[in-house]
DNA sequence: TAATTATATATTGATTGAATATATAGCAAA
DNA sequence: TTTGCTATATATTCAATCAATATATAATTA
């Protein structure tokens, strides 16, 4: 009964943040991230798939294997991550696809939802993984 | 698999817009709104309850009965409606309630979700029912 | 008192979210 | 070359929630 961000995109963001925090440490195991973030490995395995497909992560199998960020943390925004894992940046279907509703032409609320979606994702676009790493450091030194 | 506004808050907004469009027409039947908005009466009956409790609508039973906006359309924002029907203005539980997650103190993403929620609802707060009525008029005269 | 309208409660069916389980595939070092 | 390590792929489960309907009851006016 209330609009909520899925654990998928929240865990996904924490997954990416964790990797950003260990950027340059070589391939990282999902099991380590799972421990640090207190999330199940199996679930992270699911979440990481689209992140790999989208080119944000590269992986290596076998011993000494693991996952690495494919881009520097400065070049990945939270919008990238959330937009990917939530499958789109619109809070209502009719924002993107004008064919789902026959009222599209008359409906004044459609534009409303579009603006709300944009306000949200515009904000998320201004924040990179590097920003989050900084913020995390600041929080820990307190 | 994607964050979406519920039909509850979308229909609720259309319900309120419809009432704003017939402001000063006396008590309005839900059945008329249902027809105009192409939504089931039964469902609207559910949605209207919290709107009444919150004081946005007053109702009269019996013949000549119906529902009336308790405030002028200028004084009701979309944030009021959506915030009410979605039960809160935060996209993640931990935004409001700091006890739901033990990581609250360390978690840099929490602030993130808070900002995203605010960005969205701040935008919705700038739009009143009167604005939507105007927009609807403009769309129809095209 | 009869017709009309709103209110209250319960129930349904389908969908989705969140997570787990079980296998398979590929790589590196011994 | 084989053993162990790690990632990948697919399927399945369980519970929660969304969206909607059904069936009553209560109040008001003509």
Is there a domain that residue B133 lies in?
Answer: yes
Q: Is residue A123 part of a domain?
A: yes
Pair A19, A67: CB distance under 8 Å:
yes
Residue A11, domain member (yes or no):
yes
CA of B125: which chain A residue's CA is closest?
A116
Domain presence at residue A2: no
CB distance A12 to A51 below 8 Å: yes
Please give the mean pLDDT across all residues of chain B. Answer: 95
CA R_g for chain A: 18
Closest CA relative to residue B84, chosen from B3, B13, B2? B13
Question: pLDDT at position A102, please?
Answer: 87
Q: Quick one: which H or E segment has residue B133?
A: helix B129-140
Q: Which nucleotides of D are covered by protein (CB under 7 A)?
A: 4-11, 17-23, 26-30
Pick the closest to residue B94 from B111, B115, B116, B119 (CA basis): B111
| Residue segments in chain A with a per-residue pLDDT below the cut of 70 | 142
Between B2 and A14, where is the model more confident? A14
**Six token digits for residue B15:** 């319900």
Q: Which of A4, A17, A123 faces B92 most closely, judged by CB atoms?
A: A4
Report yes or no on B105 lying in a domain: no
Asked if residue B103 has pLDDT above 80, the reply is yes
What residues make up the domain containing A104? Answer: 7-140
Which residue in B116, B124, B139, B141 has the most chain A C-beta atoms within 10 A of its own C-beta, making it the best mutation to test that interface? B116
| Residue B115 placed within a domain | no
DSSP state, residue A88? S
Q: Check whether B139 has a pLDDT greater than 80.
A: yes
Inter-chain CB proximity A2 and B88 less than 8 Å: yes
| Predicted pLDDT at B48 | 98
- Residue B142: is its pLDDT beyond 80? no
**Residue B13, domain member (yes or no):** yes
Helical H segments across A1-142, by residue range: 7-21, 30-37, 41-53, 78-85, 93-96, 109-125, 129-140
pLDDT (tens digit per residue) in A71-90: 999 999 999 999 999 999 99
pLDDT tens string B59-96: 999 999 999 999 999 999 999 999 999 999 999 999 88
Residue A64's SS3 state is coil
Q: Is the CB of B55 under 7 A from strand C?
A: no
Per-residue model confidence (pLDDT) at position A118: 97
Beta strands in chain B (DSSP E): 57-60, 66-69
B29, closest nucleotide (Cα–C1'): C5
Q: Check residue B115 and give its pLDDT.
A: 96
Task: Please report which confidence band the pLDDT of residue B15 belongs to, taking 50, 70 and 90 as the band edges.
Answer: very high
Say if residue B21's pLDDT is above 90. Answer: yes
User: Which CATH number goes with the domain that contains B55?
Assistant: 1.10.10.10
Is residue B29 included in any domain, yes or no?
yes
Query: pLDDT over 90 for what percent of chain B?
Result: 88
Strand D contact residues in chain A (18-37), C-beta within 7 Å:
27-31
B87: closest chain A residue by CA: A2
Residue B56 has pLDDT above 90, yes or no: yes
Partners of B132 on chain A (C-beta within 8 Å) are 108-109, 112
User: Total structural domains in chain A?
Assistant: 1
């Amino acid at each position: 009964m209330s609009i909520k961000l899925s654990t998928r995109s929240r865990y996904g963001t924490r997954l990416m943040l964790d990797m950003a925090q260990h950027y340059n440490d070589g391939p990282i195991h999902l099991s380590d991230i799972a421990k640090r973030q207190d999330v199940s490995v199996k679930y992270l395995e699911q979440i990481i798939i689209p992140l790999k497909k989208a080119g944000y992560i590269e992986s290596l199998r076998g011993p000494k294997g693991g996952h690495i960020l494919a881009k520097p943390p400065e070049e990945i925004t939270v919008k990238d991550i959330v937009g990917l894992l939530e499958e789109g940046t619109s809070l209502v279907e009719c924002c993107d696809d004008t064919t789902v509703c026959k009222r599209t032409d008359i409906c004044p609320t459609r534009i409303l939802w579009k603006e709300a979606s944009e306000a949200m994702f515009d904000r998320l676009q201004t924040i990179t993984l590097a920003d989050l790493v900084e913020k995390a450091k600041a929080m820990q030194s307190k």
